[in-house]
Structures are given as C-alpha cells and as structure tokens.
Amino acid sequence: MIWSIAWRNIWRNKLRSIIVLSAIAIGLFAGVFSTGFYKGMADMRVESGIKTEVSHIQVHKPDYTLNNEINLFLTGSDEMVKKINGMPEVAGASQRIKAECFFKTAHGTRGVRIIGVEPDREKQVTDIYDFVKEGDYLDGEHRIPRILVGQTLGEKLKLKIGSRIPVDIVDLHGNFSSRLYKVGGFYRTTNTGFDERNVFVTFDALKQQLSMPDDAAHEIAVYLSDNANLEEVYKKISSDYPNLDVQTWRDVSKELALVNDSMDQYMYIFVVIILLALCFGIINTMLMVVMERTKELGMLMAVGMHRTKVFLMIILESVFLSLSGGIIGIIIGYGVIKIFEKRPIELEMFKGFEQYGYASEVYTKLPLNMAFTMAALVFVLGIISAIYPAWKAIRLDPADAIRTD
C-alpha cells in the first residue's frame, strides 16, 4: 500500500519530477561515462607499460637496478631463459643487454639507453615490433648492425632509413668503445618519452661492443599469459634463483603500480562528489514536497496513519525518484561506454599526454560490478536525501498542519 502511494505521489507534479529525474540521470551519466573513460585510459597505460616497456617480471643481478652498472651481469642467462620459458604460465622470456651511450649525428648528440635484444624471443615479451612505422625490425644479419630508433628521436635528429650513426659506450673493461650502426627502422609507441630514451640493437652486436662474455646478460624479461598468475610465477622464479633480484612490474615501475592501484579510488571519489551534489537537489525537492503537502500529511496522521508510515512514505518517494533517474543515467552511460569499447575516442588535442605514456586514442572500460556499485550508491543516496525531509514531516503537529492554508 505504502509503496504504491509513494509511487503515485511522485507523479502528482509531473514537471518537477521529470526535471529532477533528468538532473539525476544526467549526473549519473556523466559519472558513469567519466569513470569508464578514465578507467579505460588507466588500464591502457598499465597494459601498454607492461607489454611495451617493463614486462611482468624482470630478473637482474642484485643492485643492478640501483645504478645500471654494466659489470653487474647474469651468467648462464641462456639456460635461465630456456627454463623460465618452460613454465606453463609464461608466454615468453628474453635476455637483454643494456647500456647508456652517446648517440652522435650531424644534428646533435644525445644520451640514450641502448638495449640489445634477441629479436625472435623479444617478440614474445614486448610488442615493439608492432609499433615499427617505417623500415624493419631487427631481423636478419647485416655487415653494419641495424639500430631501431624511436620516431620522435629520429625526427629531432633528422635521421632517415639507412643513416649511419656512431654509438659511443664505455665497455666492460672501462675502455671507450665506438661502433657504427645503420638505422634500420623507426618505431612509435604510445609513450613518446620512452621512444626518445630507448634505442634497440641485436643482442650479439651490443655484446661484442661491450666486450661481454658469452652467455651473459643484464636482464631477463618475462611476459605471462595472464597477469593473475603474477605472484605464483614470481615466487617460482625467486625460489629457483634465490641469489638474484627478481622483481614484478610493480617493483620495476612504481608509476604504473600507482596508476593501477589508485584509479578506482579516484573514480569512486569523483562519483561520490557528483552524488553529493545531486543529494542537495533531492533534499531541496523533498522539503518542497513536505511543505506543499503539510495539510495532507496532517490529515493522514489525524485519521490514524502512524508516523512511521509517513516517514517510510517520504523515504520511498525519494528512493523511487533517485533510482528512476539513476538507473536511466547508468544504463545510458554503460551503453555509451560499450560503444566506445570498440570505437576509440580520438583525443588529438591531448597528444601531449603521449609524453607520459597515455595514448591519444582511448577505449572506454567499465566493469559491470562497478555499475552495480553505482546503482547501490544511488539507492543509499535516495535514503540519505529523504531523512531530513521525512523527519520534518513526522514532526508536524496534526492539529496545526490541518489548519495550514
């Protein structure tokens, strides 16, 4: 009985109810879509960071990550890679050699990180080869070793395919080593900062230049089939190699870990702010309802309606109003998010974000459980918004209320 009365009461003033419903729907649509947009942006940053830059797990000699000293290298790295690749949860593992070098061209000198990789194995660990925009990846044998350069760096140094570049490095023995490389290709990832700082050559070419011993590497990168197996594989590798420094992507890149852990919290805070703004609007509306119906409420209590039922009726009106608008907004917002899960949102004006690893094309994403959480928050909003107006209603004196004009 109370439920049906509360529902009918909402539509006694249709214009006002429609305006309030529309405001709630628009507010929830904005909250849901914004959450899906930033969730998608954050997930894309984490996924691209893992796949392109750091991989799921890295193995180093202890203290290597502190200063990246080239004399802190792993021995027997090839056997380690084969053993790790044998784990069922591992999609790929690859050994790398890394060094800081000077990159000399006719248009300037730049300090960059040069990374020696095994092309076939590296394709199982990173997707750099997918981002080659011009030229070729590091496949094949050449008299002059090929070097893969970030497109952003290549444009600044005015490089072209076939350009010859002397690369200067201090080798393992502390001697100055210079070697000529030829630009074989340009790559462009979603992180232009990464592109400017890193160049790639073959594992053997860099090993020779650094005078590294056979079967040695600075790093083993491991990519998993499923991130859910991260802790399990991390513990296995740590157990197999207790004297080495095994790190997950969270340890290697604190920035990615922060983005992954904090984004959901920020999104809920954002939605709560929107709900609080809507809350004041609903409170104002319900107070107007109580004031307009003072005489009616007094008559109901005078003929025997218990104050608890009056209180519940006002609460239900607020809940119906909130849920009706909120669910409409959530459904529309979720539908729009699903559309942009397949068709990216182009952000040409925000291309500068690529400097920090964020793509200028964003695929929205919102887990279904988050949509249900928002619906639950709307339900709570309806209850909280009606408490004060309902309390005002049951505080009315029936005799005084009936005499109200």
CA distance to 112, 157, 385, per residue, from 163 (Å): 17, 11, 68
92, 197: one domain: yes
199, 318: one domain: no
Domain ends where: 243, 272, 300?
243
206, 262: one domain: no
> Interhelix angle for 294-302 vs 254-292, to 10°?
70
Q: Is 57 domain-assigned?
A: no
238, 308: one domain: no
Q: Is 249 domain-assigned?
A: no
Beta bridge partner(s), residue 182 = 146, 164
To the nearest 10°, the Cα dihedral for 28, 30, 33, 36?
A: -80
Q: Is 56 domain-assigned?
A: no
> Interhelix angle for 307-342 vs 2-10, to 10°?
60
* Nearest in space to 122 (alpha carbons), one of 66, 198, 70, 232: 198
Q: Which residues contact 399 (CB under 8 A, 6 or more apart)?
A: 298, 302
Please tell me the distance from the alpha carbon of residue 315 to that of residue 397, in angstroms, as a whole number. Answer: 19
Q: Is 172 domain-assigned?
A: yes
74, 221: one domain: yes
What total of structural domains would you count in the chain? 2
Q: Is 164 domain-assigned?
A: yes
Domain ends where: 181, 212, 243?
243
DSSP reduced 3-state for 117: strand
Stated pTM of the model: 0.78
In this structure, which long-range contacts are made by residues 235-244, counting pairs with CB atoms below 8 Å and at least 24 apart in sequence? 236/87, 237/57, 237/59, 237/84, 240/83, 241/59, 241/80, 243/62, 244/59, 244/60, 244/61, 244/62, 244/74
209, 129: one domain: yes
Domain that holds residue 89: 62-243
Q: Is 54 domain-assigned?
A: no
Q: What is the pLDDT of residue 187?
A: 93
Phi and psi at residue 103, to the nearest 5°:
-110, 105
Q: What is the pLDDT of residue 360?
A: 63
Q: Is 276 domain-assigned?
A: yes
170, 85: one domain: yes
183, 323: one domain: no
96, 166: one domain: yes
> Interhelix angle for 254-292 vs 368-394, to 10°?
30
Please tell me the distance from the alpha carbon of residue 215 to that of residue 73, in angstroms, as a whole number. Answer: 10
pLDDT of the chain, 405 residues: tens digit per residue: 677 777 787 777 788 888 888 888 888 888 888 888 888 888 888 888 888 888 999 999 998 888 888 889 999 999 999 999 999 999 999 999 999 988 877 777 888 999 999 999 999 999 898 999 998 998 778 888 999 999 988 888 888 999 898 999 988 888 888 899 999 999 998 888 888 899 999 999 999 999 998 888 999 999 999 888 999 999 999 999 999 999 999 888 888 888 777 777 777 788 888 888 888 888 888 877 777 777 777 777 777 777 788 778 888 888 888 888 888 998 999 999 998 888 877 766 555 555 555 666 777 888 888 888 888 888 888 888 888 888 877 777 767 667 666
Please tell me the distance from the alpha carbon of residue 401 to that of residue 405, in angstroms, as a whole number. Answer: 9
29, 88: one domain: no
Q: Is 250 domain-assigned?
A: no
130, 217: one domain: yes
Domain ends where: 191, 209, 243?
243
134, 165: one domain: yes
The DSSP result for 188-241, as a single string, is --S-HHHHHHEEEEEHHHHHHHHTPPTTEESEEEEEES-GGGHHHHHHHHHHH-
Q: What is the pLDDT of residue 39?
A: 85
Q: What is the pLDDT of residue 236?
A: 93
